[in-house]
Structures are given as C-alpha cells and as structure tokens.
Amino acid sequence: MSKPESHVTNFVRDVIEADIAAGKLTSEQVVTRFPPEPNGYLHVGHAKSICLNFGLAQSFGGQCNLRFDDTNPGKEDQEYVDAIMEDVRWLGFQWAGEVRYASDYFDQFYAWAQELIGKGLAYVCDLSPEQASEYRGWATQPGKPSPFRERSAEENLDLLERMKNGEFDEGSRVLRAKIDMASPNMNLRDPILYRIRKQSHHQTGDKWCIYPSYDFSHGQEDALEGVTHSICTLEFADHRPLYEWFLENLSVPAKPRQYEFGRLNLDYTVTSKRKLKRLVDENHVAGWDDPRMPTIHGMRRRGFSARAIRNFCGSLPVAKSDGVVSIAQFESAVRDDLDKHAPRAMAVLNPLKLVIENYAEGKQENLKAANHPKEDMGERELPFTREIYIDASDFNEDSSLSRKKFKRLVLGDYVRLRGAYVIKANRVEHNAAGEPTTVFCELVENTVGEDPPEGIKPRGVIHWVSASAGVKATIRVYDRLFLNASPDKGEEDFLTHINPDALKILDNCWIEPSLATAAPEASFQFEREGYFVADRFDHSASAPVFNMTIGLRDSWSDKV
RNA sequence: UGGGGUGUCGCCAAGCGGCAAGGCACUGGGUUUUGAUCCCAGCAUUCGUAGGUUCGAAUCCUUCCACCCCAGCCA
C-alpha cells in the first residue's frame, strides 16, 4: 500500500489542475509516464522523477506508464531493463498495463518519417558527422543548408528505404527534418530523425538498421500512449519547440504537452549514469547495488526504505531551478521513517567483556524488552547472563570524568544496562598494551524495571549483549562515498574525492539472539548506535550480516 | 557569444501588488531506562544589482550582474 504522501503543490500539479478546471480533461484522464533509457541503473534522481510522475497520476486517479526509451541499442541492455522494473516496483509503484518500449512503435515512426518526406519536411543527408557539424553553424552564426536538402520526395523515400535495408554504412547518411538552419535554437537546425546503426537491439533484435533519435521519438510516444502531461528535466526545455513541431506536422492521435522541472542533485553524491558506471567498472564499489551507491539498488541494500525515499521525494519542491539538496535532508527523512517503523534491538560493535561477579555462573534470565518505545510492536526475550559484552567506548577507567561529560560506565560508578540491571564497575583487567580486556562488576538487586535504591544514581544507560546467549555477527559500517560536497564540480577527477573509509567491516560484533533470525532486508534500530538492515543477500541465521543504514542523530559527540 | 532557464535565511524553497510559509541545518530549554525520539522557543526590517511606476513592490517596468543548459549521427 503506497498511499500518496502529502504533496506540497507544485507548478506541474497547478498546470494539471488548471487544465482540469478548464475542462480540457477529467481528473481520471491524466496520463504521465516515466521514460528511462535502459543504459544504467536508476539513482536517487530518478526516484524523484518516479515519485513525481506516478504520484501525480495516483493523486488524480489517472495513470502512469513505464516506457523504456530504447532508441540507442549500443548503450542499452536487458539487464538494465530488468533492474529498472524491479526498482519501480520496489519503490511501491505499479505502471498502467504492460511495460512499453519506444521500440514498440518503430514501425509507426518509420511511417511518420515517410509522411514527413511526403510533405517535404524531411530529407536524407549524406554529410559526414564532421561536415554536418560545420554546416550547423555557431550560436551567433546561422548554419548553411545541406547540399542534400532539396532532394525529391521520391529519392528521399528510396534512400530511407535503403538505409533501413542496411545498404549503407553507419554514419554515411541520416534522415533530417527540414526546419530552419538559421534558428537561434540549435535543435531546430535540421535535427536528425534517423541514423544508421547496424546493431542488434535488446527488444527488436536485428530487425532494424536505423534507429530514431530521441527527438523524433519522445513526443510521438507520448501521443501514442495518450500521455497528457510529459514531465522531463530542465535540459529538455530547448527541445520543446521540436517536440511540438513533430506533433504539429505529423498525423498523431493526441497533443501531449511537455513540462520541465529541475533534476535532483544531492551534495556529497554523484548522480550521472556515466560516473556511476565508472565507479562500478573500475571497482571502486562492489557493484551497482553496493550500499554506498546512490542507485535505488544500492539504497535498498543500504536499508533506506522505499517509504523513506518516497517521503523524501514527496517533500522536495518541484521547481525550475537546479539546486543542490543537502544530504542531511535525505538522512532526516530516513531517520524519521526508521524511527517510527524499525524495531529496537541491541548489538555491540566493539565488544568489551564484562563479568557480573554477583550473578551466578550458568544462570540465565530471559528478560522482556519492548520492541519499540512508542509504537506497539510487541516485546522479545532478552537473555541476561553473568558475562556480557558492552561497547568498548562505553567504559572509561577515569572515574574523575564528570557525569555530564560521560554518561556511561566508569570505574567505581553505576550505570543502567538497558532493559536490565543497574551495575557498578569495580575493577578492570588489561592486556599487554594496557587496554582494558575485562571489567568486573556487580549488579544492584531488584533493578530490572525498577529504580535503584535511594543514593544510587546511574550515570546513564548503555546497551549490551549476553556473551553466552548472544550471536557473533558481521556488521558493515558505511559512511558517505565522497569527502567533497561537490565531487564532480572541480577540475580534478571526481574519483580523487572518494572516501577511503566509506566502508568498515566489523567482524567481531555481538548481537542479541532475536536478531540472528531476522529476515533479509529487515531493518532495526540498534539502540544507541543507529539503524541497521539484515543484508539482502549475505545475511543468514548462522552467519548474520547487517549493514549500517545510518547512525542515530548525535547532538553530543562534537560538543564535548 | 545566439537561444533557453534560474536568482528569496547556511541548504532546498513558498510567495503571483498589501506588509517574508514550510522543511533541513543550527542555537537554547523541557521530558526520557536509547546523549535517540518527542515537546517548546529562537533563527531574513529583507527578497542578485541599480533605477522607475504605485498610497504601498520579493511581486509591475527598465538596467546591469551571476549561475545553469544547448551547439552528439546521446537521452
């Protein structure tokens, strides 16, 4: 169930509402589409587009199509098609009807190309790419008409047919629209409609030797599918006149309208399919679904819930400016969601053994612990034993530390074990390096769920795991992939900003037994540490593996 | 440079002639068996710049400035 998150209004929504108010269409007739090219994995920027397009359709009671813009077979792959469908579904959306492909319409596009030729609005051009570029002119300088611009319709039709039949080499000829070589908008200087590509296509195989350009496809695809509001990113604004030119000059069944909004940029993040592909191809990450990646696959494995991503995207204004959103804003949405929905549990990442000397050896109490402090999520059994682990950073031998500065265990003082007893540290054993190895404590009787007697004031509450009943686990701790807020802005290669410590593998962690049997992809809050998810692929009860999604908000550590 | 787009708090932004929403971040304070959550309070006499119109402008007009996009047989 993905109920539409509360949407702040935005200009696209306003346009649709105005269209409905003007009687141009009914609410149910609103049709949008998400049109990815299957040339890479989707990332957080696409998530915004998905949420916008599907969200708009959903809230108006209309429909949203998933359509692959597969007009360039050389860069595309079925692997990407499959991953994209999985991502859209995982985000909680369902496209209307079957998945669509631009390639479904190739025959129609071809007929339309012939129509344009018949109207004297398109021609086959034999200029080489270099020559074409010269002829195109410059910003301040109009282009020159191609010497092939005035070929007869018959000749053009014949040439196009032969291009289609594979009679010519790649790059030797293209079909162009005849528009205006002097237009200040470069996109109108006789844009390319078809180019020769003797490549097999992931959907159509070897049927075609020529493939339509984005411009000669997109508006017509929208028209064919009855898309009413075609939403794309800012860089396509210059293409809108072309988009409309085709709809104007072709016998299309409908006249969709294009609207542009600013794509999502996040600081400390790279969102360019090319750069993400480099990270994968050059092995800087373990793959497209590496939890450090801003891909939807990566975010999923990291433990960022679909709901959190949806909430985040829904909270983003849709505007025509291209700003950079702070990653903190995304993290805030993630914490907000996980705080409400993730059950609590305890895990010790850097164990320090603690022996409770006044607790019998071999004794075990199964204490009850609530799974959530506010939501009703039931309770679980928490085994308490004589030997337990606490985090090494939760103990300090310096008993002169002020209670305000260190609300944890200190030699000679009391602390509350979360969900269990109040204990006092009496002495400590060290290793050769002088590091504490075992802390010997005593517990205060009758302090489970009860305040300690007058005079005993625990410094704070720390988490713990039974040494004998707990389970050993591997925990992967993640940090941001880049150290620079704008990794791809400077002169230098963005790879120079990679954070070498973005992944730390801790393989001597201890988790409470209830965690070992967690289902893959189940999220938890490890109390006082952060949010963690059982790895989608590597986690098992016998060898538990958790990924850190994000730490708890920490308003204290940098203040001391 | 020609065309397209944008400039409002540290960041993202609402605002569409009537006297600067909201979120994130930040700063105080309260609650708390998570230094979490939650709660309460604070946070732009000012809207890229310079002029003009108006009783009144971030909102209208003009000038200038800055930034982004296009000049692929990519999308």
pLDDT digits (tens, 9 = 90+) for A343-385: 999 999 999 999 999 999 999 999 999 999 999 999 999 999 9
Q: How far, in Å, is the CA of A38 from the C1' of nucleotide B8?
A: 39
The CATH superfamily of A267-341+470-560 is: Ribosomal Protein L25; Chain P (2.40.240.10)
Query: Residue A329 and residue A528: Cα distance in Å, rounded?
Result: 21
Q: Which CATH number fits domain A351-466: 1.20.120.80, 2.40.240.10, 2.60.40.10, 3.30.70.1560?
A: 2.40.240.10
- Is residue A453 marked as binding? no
- Is residue A233 marked as binding? yes
Nucleotide nearest to A69 (CA to C1'): B75
Among A403, A397, A390, CA closest to A429: A397
Radius of gyration of chain A (CA): 31
Q: How far, in Å, is the CA of A527 from the C1' of nucleotide B32?
A: 14
- Is residue A263 marked as binding? yes
Of all protein residues, which has its CA closest to the C1' atom of B25?
A: A328
Structure token pair of residue A30: 């609103």
Q: How far, in Å, is the CA of A20 from the C1' of nucleotide B75?
A: 31
Q: Helix H segments across A448-543?
A: 513-516
- Is residue A69 marked as binding? yes
Specify whether the CB–CB gap between A526 and A532 falls below 8 A: yes
Residue A355 has, within 13 A of its CA and on its CB side, a CA count of 12
Nucleotide nearest to A402 (CA to C1'): B35
User: What pLDDT, on a 0 to 100 scale, did the predictor assign at position A490?
Assistant: 82
Catalytic residue among A5, A17, A37, A365: A37
List, in sequence order, every residue forming a beta bridge with A441; answer none if it has no partner.
Answer: A356, A425
A553 is catalytic: no
Among A124, A197, A191, CA closest to A157: A124
Nucleotide nearest to A141 (CA to C1'): B2
The pTM for the full model equals: 0.96
Q: How far, in Å, is the CA of A12 from the C1' of nucleotide B63?
A: 32
Nucleotides in B strand less than 7 A from protein CB: 1-8, 10-16, 21-27, 33-38, 68-75
Structure token pair of residue A51: 């949420």
Query: Residue A187 and residue A71: Cα distance in Å, rounded?
Result: 18
The stretches in chain A having pLDDT less than 70 are: 1-8, 558-560
> What is the ipTM metric for this complex?
0.96
User: What pLDDT, on a 0 to 100 scale, did the predictor assign at position A560?
Assistant: 53
User: What pLDDT, on a 0 to 100 scale, did the predictor assign at position A558?
Assistant: 63
Residue count (chain A): 560
Q: How far, in Å, is the CA of A329 from the C1' of nucleotide B25?
A: 9
User: What pLDDT, on a 0 to 100 scale, did the predictor assign at position A2?
Assistant: 29
Nucleotide nearest to A194 (CA to C1'): B73
A273 is catalytic: yes
Residue A343 is classified by DSSP as P
**What confidence tens digit (pLDDT) does each residue in A183-219 have?**
999 999 999 999 999 999 999 999 999 999 999 999 9
Specify whether the CB–CB gap between A176 and A193 falls below 8 A: yes
- Is residue A214 marked as binding? yes
Nucleotide nearest to A184 (CA to C1'): B3
* Beta-carbon contacts of residue A328 (< 8 Å; ≥ 6 apart): none
Q: How far is CA A423 from the centre of its chain?
A: 44
Catalytic residue among A195, A273, A476, A480: A273
Q: How far, in Å, is the CA of A120 from the C1' of nucleotide B16?
A: 44
Domains A1-264 and A351-466 share a fold: no
User: What pLDDT, on a 0 to 100 scale, did the predictor assign at position A5?
Assistant: 34
Specify whether the CB–CB gap between A419 and A367 falls below 8 A: yes
Specify whether the CB–CB gap between A411 and A352 falls below 8 A: no
A79 is catalytic: no
What is the domain partition of chain A in residue ranges? 1-264, 267-341+470-560, 351-466
Of all protein residues, which has its CA closest to the C1' atom of B23?
A: A315
**Domain A1-264 classified CATH 3.30.2320.80?**
no
Residue A438 is classified by DSSP as E
- H or E stretch covering A281: helix A273-281
